[in-house]
Structure 1
Amino acid sequence: MTRPLAVFDVDGTLVDSRASIHAACGAAARRLGLPEPSYDRVRQIVGLELTKALHVLEPQLTQAELADYVAGFRQWFLDQYEAGHEEPLFDGAVDHLRRLKRDGWRLAIATGQNRRGVARNLARDGWADLFLSSHCAEDGPGKPDPAMLIAAMRACDACPATTVMIGDTAHDHAMAANAGVPAYGVGWGFHTAEEQLAAGARLVATTFSDLDAALDAFASGAAGPARVESLAASA
C-alpha cells in the first residue's frame, strides 16, 4: 500500500471538549431563556456544523433566535479563550500522531469546527507540522456530507483505498461512508461504541494503543471486513 492517509476529527477524538461544548450550549440557552440541554442531548449533535447542530438541538427556534443561539455559543468560547482556557488533549493523542507521522502516514483534519477553531488547534505546540491539510464545516458542506473528506484526499494526493477516517461520532462515520472511505471509531468521545458501529465504523478503539494496532493493520493492507465487533466489547 502506498503511504496511507489518516483523517482525524478533532472534538472528542483528539481534544477533550466534552465539558466545554456542554457548558457553551447551556450558556447560550440561558441567554435565550431556554432550559439548559442535558449532556446526552448535546453529545448527539457534536460534529455537525454549528448552526445545523444547534437547530437540531432546538428545532423550534426562529432563524433570528437560532442566530442568537449560535452567537451565544461562540461568545462563551471566545470569553473562555480570552481568559486563557484551552481544551485538553486526550492522553496519548500527540504521541499517537507523532508515531503515525514518523511511520510515513499522511495526516489531515476534518472537523465540524469553524476555521478559527482549526487555527487555534493548529497553533498547539507541534501541530502545524503534523498535518498536511485541514478541512472544516466553514469550507463547505459539513458532516455527513463527504466534501471535507474528499477535499482532504485531494489535498494529500490520496484515494479511498489508502485513506481512513478516525472519529468519535456517527456523523464522522456517515461522512466516511458517503466518501467511500473506511471509518475507525474511538471510544472516549461523544458517541457510544454501539452508536458508532451502527453508523458504519469498522471498529471502535478503546485506547490509542488499540488504534495504533488497527492502523498498522490497515497500512499493511489488512484492513479487515466491512465491520467488526467493537474493541470495547472484547476489552
Structure 2
Amino acid sequence: MTYKMVVFDWDGTILDSTGAITRAIQHACLDAGLPDPGEEIASYVIGLGLSDALRHAAPGASEAQIALLIESYRKHYLSKDHELELFSGAIPLLKQLNAMGVICTVATGKSRQGLNRAMANSDTARYFMGSRCADECHSKPHPQMILELMEEFGIDAAHVVMIGDTTHDLNMANAAGVHALSVQTGAHPPKLLNQVPHLQSFRSINELAPWLIQTISAQS
C-alpha cells in the first residue's frame, strides 16, 4: 500500500483554530438567548458542518434560532480568523509531500467560502490539489468528501490516508475504507480519539511528519 493521496482536515489539524471556533459557538448561543453549551460540547462538534454542529451544541433550537446561531457564529469567528496561525510544521510537511509527488487534499467542515478565506489568509492554496467542504457534501462522518476526492484523482482506498484531530475525521476515514492518523492538536482529546480505530496518534504535526514521510518513502 503506497499513499498517493493525503486528505487533511483543516481546523485543529492544519490551522490552530479550535479555541476560536469553540468561543464563537458559545457566544452565538448566548446571543440567541440559548444556554452556553460549555467548552467541552462546543469543541466536540468542531469538524461537523456548521448547521449540524450548532444543532448538536444547541439541542432543541428551532430553525429560526439555528439561522440566528449561524449568523452570530460567523460574526464572532470572522472577527478573529485573520489572527489564527498554522500549526508548526504544517508548511514544511506540505512542501515535502508536494515534492514527493503526493497529492494533498482537504476535507473540512468549513463552507467553501470559509475554506477559501482560510487558505487566502494563510497563503496555503498552492499546496492542495483538491478539497471538499461541508456545504458541497454530506457532513462528517459521512464518507462522501473522501470518496469524491478519490474519484476525482482516480485513487483507490488502499492509497489514501486521512489526517485529522477529531473522531468525526477518523469515522469518516473508516467509512470510506481508508487509513487514518490522528493529531492531538485540536478538538478531541487522546482518550476520545483512541476510541475510534486508526493507525496511530501523534502529539503534533512535527511528530507526525517524519513518520509519514518515512512510511511513504519506504513504500516507494
TM-score (norm 2): 0.92
- Structure 2 counterpart of 1:76: 76
Give the match's secondary structure for 1:139.
coil
Equivalent residue for 1:117, pick from 114, 119, 125:
114
Q: Does structure 1 residue 128 correspond to structure 2 residue 92?
A: no
Q: How does 1:43-58 map to 2 (within 5 A)?
A: 43-58=43-58
Aligned mates of 1:3, 1:164 — CA distance in 2: 7
Q: Does structure 1 residue 28 correspond to structure 2 residue 28?
A: yes
Give the match's secondary structure for 2:114.
helix
Give the match's secondary structure for 2:194.
helix
Please list the CA deviations of residues 12-66 of structure 1 after superposition, one character each: whole Å capped at 9, or x if unmatched. Answer: 0010112211221122112112232321111110000111111111112111112
Q: How does 1:149-228 map to 2 (within 5 A)?
A: 149-219=146-216, 220-221=218-219
Deviation at 1:202, TM superposition (A): 1.6
Structure 1, 106-115 or 201-210: larger mean CA deviation:
201-210
Partners of 1:3 and 1:104 within 8 A in 2: no
Deviation at 1:5, TM superposition (A): 0.4
Deviation at 1:221, TM superposition (A): 3.9
More relative contact order, 1 or 2 (CA 8 Å, 6+ apart)? 2
Q: Which one-letter code corresponds to 1:8 in the other structure?
A: F
Q: Does structure 1 residue 60 correspond to structure 2 residue 60?
A: yes
Aligned mates of 1:125, 1:195 — CA distance in 2: 29
Aligned mates of 1:132, 1:199 — CA distance in 2: 28
Give the match's secondary structure for 1:26.
helix
Runs of 5+ consecutive residues of structure 1 not aligned to the other structure: 223-235
Deviation at 1:126, TM superposition (A): 4.5
Q: Which one-letter code corresponds to 1:177 in the other structure?
A: N
Aligned mates of 1:5, 1:97 — CA distance in 2: 12
Equivalent residue for 1:146, pick from 123, 143, 148:
143
Aligned mates of 1:164, 1:174 — CA distance in 2: 13
Q: Which one-letter code corresponds to 1:103 in the other structure?
A: M
Partners of 1:50 and 1:113 within 8 A in 2: yes
Q: Which one-letter code corresponds to 2:5 in the other structure?
A: L
Q: Which one-letter code corresponds to 1:118 in the other structure?
A: L
Backbone CA RMSD of aligned residues: 1.9
Q: Given the superposition, is the C-alpha separation of residues 177 and 212 from structure 1 closer, same or farther in structure 2, using an over 3 Å criterion?
A: same
Runs of 5+ consecutive residues of structure 2 not aligned to the other structure: none
Q: Given the superposition, is the C-alpha separation of residues 59 and 35 from structure 1 closer, same or farther in structure 2, using an over 3 Å criterion?
A: closer
Equivalent residue for 2:101, pick from 96, 101, 104:
104
Aligned mates of 2:154, 2:43 — CA distance in 1: 33
- Structure 2 counterpart of 1:40: 40
| Percentage of pairs with the same residue | 33
Structure 1, 15-24 or 165-174: larger mean CA deviation:
15-24
Partners of 2:88 and 2:206 within 8 A in 1: no
Q: Number of residue pairs matched? A: 219
Q: Which one-letter code corresponds to 1:55 in the other structure?
A: R
